[in-house]
Amino acid sequence: MSRLIKSQKALDYSEAFRAQCPPLGRLMDGDLKVTMCIYYASRRPDLDESLILDLMQGLIYENDRQVKERHTYWALDPANPRAEIIVDQLPREEKKPRTRRGKKE
């Protein structure tokens, strides 16, 4: 049985994240786009944005595999390190009829 062991810093961040991110009443479904700006306390960041995507599972969406588009920005704010996150629903793709030799079937 494999087990993912996170650093104490990551575990502390996870706890703080859950305390500040209330769960949605209804989880977002379908394909999603996530835009986040992570404000780090120093130029030596050790927070990976994939941890944030993992932490939003069960709070914002069911599974981070729903995130099909991701935009991540990096900034410094030693006085107030934080992550600002926007999650948007991507438009559902319309299924096009299959064609054969340029003709609709």
Nearest residue to 36 via CA among 82, 92, 89: 82
Q: Which amino acid does the sequence have at 100?
A: R
The per-residue pLDDT for range 15-39, each reduced to its tens digit, is 999 999 999 999 999 999 999 999 9
Is the overall model pTM greater than 0.85, yes or no? no
Alpha helices in the chain (DSSP H): 8-20, 49-55
Residues 6 or more apart in contact with residue 13 via CB below 8 angstroms: 47, 51
Strand partners, 32: 67, 89
Q: How many CA atoms lie within 13 A of 98 on its CB side?
A: 2
Torsions phi, psi of 102, nearest 5?
80, 0
Q: What pLDDT score does 1 carry? A: 46
Q: What pLDDT score does 5 carry? A: 58
